[in-house]
Amino acid sequence: QQTLQGLAAAKGKYFGTSVDNSEISDPKLAALAGVDFNVLTPGNPMKWEVTEPTQNSFTYTLADQLVSFATTRNMKVRGHTLVWHSQLPKWVSEGTWTRDTLTAVIENHIDKVMTKYKGQLFHWDVVNEIFNEDGTWRPSVFYKTLGEDFVAIAFRKARAVDPSVKLYINDYNTDAINSKSTALYNLVKKLLAAGVPIDGVGFQSHMIVGQVPSDFQANFERFAALGVEVAITELDIRTTTPASSAALTQQQTDYKNAVLACVNVPKCVGVTVWGFTDKHSWIPSTFPGEGAALPYSDCYKPKPAYNGILSALGGT
Ligand code: G3I
């Protein structure tokens, strides 16, 4: 029987999904996750507010739960995420810092969390969502205290702690060639020239039905030409709900085109969907009236979107 991971592997790629702790007690999800997917991204429990809720006090119960869920299914794990302005505990975001004290806090966080999972993970999203839509820097506590240096500080520390894992910079609304993706491109180019160890660029690809950009592949190609690998890290393609059959048909084309953009680029290593069933998705609570963004329906039936992925991967 053809599976997404099997077809992807035949093309030298992986196919992954995010899974969150609240989902694994769902028996259908637990049964299906390891069938189509060979990479798992923990949805929330590796984020700073969960792993280091108070300074230098680390908790890994929830993260361990998903690492073991993945391991028992032979799924690799994409670590998500080390340095991010969101889901950041207030002791960091509202702390009073100097360059030296915040650098020490970032380095300690990376040291402890990466050491805990040293040798066990496949990728780490080291730095997440650092740009505004217009390509200016997001005014996070990291940027306000350290300027853009926090990115190099984080990647250098990450490489020193675990040289076995690929280090990613990750963002959303960077799928097209636009101000934001160009800011990311220019930064990666500059940091690579300075010897900063960035291995990959992650494209979250939270998209809208009918709006998959036609230059998605061309965008991957320009990043790949810098020498980094690329990956689609959080793919979902939402629509208004209940979804019309026309929307679901368009979504099939959209999924096919998104996955093809990766398939067609040798340095694109794989695709991760941000959840795989409409039963468990972040969209409806964040965008009321929208959803139906994933390849399986809320009762675990493959949707037209699933067939779109299948055909992009060369299946039938
Ligand atoms: O854990 C608490 C629980 O104790 C509480 O009862 C409940 C009530 O709302 O909230 C729970 O926390 C929620 C958390 O998910 C865990 O389920 C938060 O409210 C909720 O905001 C949080 O949403 C997550 C979101 O990131 C927040 O930034 C989504 O699950 C997660 O899928 C989403 O993932 C992000 C990526 O990390 C980065 N890229 C964008 C993507 C989608 O927003």
Report the complex ipTM.
0.94
User: What local confidence, expressed as pLDDT, does residue 211 receive?
Assistant: 98
Q: Can you tell me whether residue 6 is helix, strand or coil? A: helix
Instruction: Specify the pLDDT at position 15.
Output: 98
125 close to ligand 1 (CB < 6 Angstrom): no
pLDDT at residue 1, rounded to an integer: 76
The residue nearest atom 27 of ligand 1, judged by CA position, is 87
Instruction: Please count the other Cβ atoms lying within 10 Å of the Cβ belonging to residue 72.
Output: 10
Which tokens go with 99?
Answer: 């360059």
pLDDT by residue for the chain (316 residues), tens digit each?
799 999 999 999 999 999 999 999 999 999 999 999 999 999 999 999 999 999 999 999 999 999 999 999 999 999 999 999 999 999 999 999 999 999 999 999 999 999 999 999 999 999 999 999 999 999 999 999 999 999 999 999 999 999 999 999 999 999 999 999 999 999 999 999 999 999 999 999 999 999 999 999 999 999 999 999 999 999 999 999 999 999 999 999 999 999 999 999 999 999 999 999 999 999 999 999 999 999 999 999 999 999 999 999 999 8
DSSP state of 287: S
Contact 13, 262 (CB under 8 A): yes
CB 204 less than 6 A from any atom of ligand 1: yes
> Ligand 1: distance of its center to the CA of 41 in Å?
14
pTM comes to: 0.98
- The whole-number pLDDT of residue 163 equals 98
Closest by CA position to 66, among listed 28, 29, 36, 112: 29
Residue 87, ligand 1, Cβ within 6 A: yes
Per CATH, the number for 4-312 is: 3.20.20.80
248, 303 contact by CB (below 8 A):
yes
Cβ contacts of residue 51 below 8 Å, gap of 6+? 45, 58, 59, 60, 63, 109, 112, 113
Distance 82 CA to ligand 1 centre (A): 16
Q: Where are the domains of the chain?
A: 4-312
Could you identify the residue written with the tokens 């953009």? Answer: 261
Instruction: Confirm or reject: Cβ of 93 under 6 Å from ligand 1.
Output: no
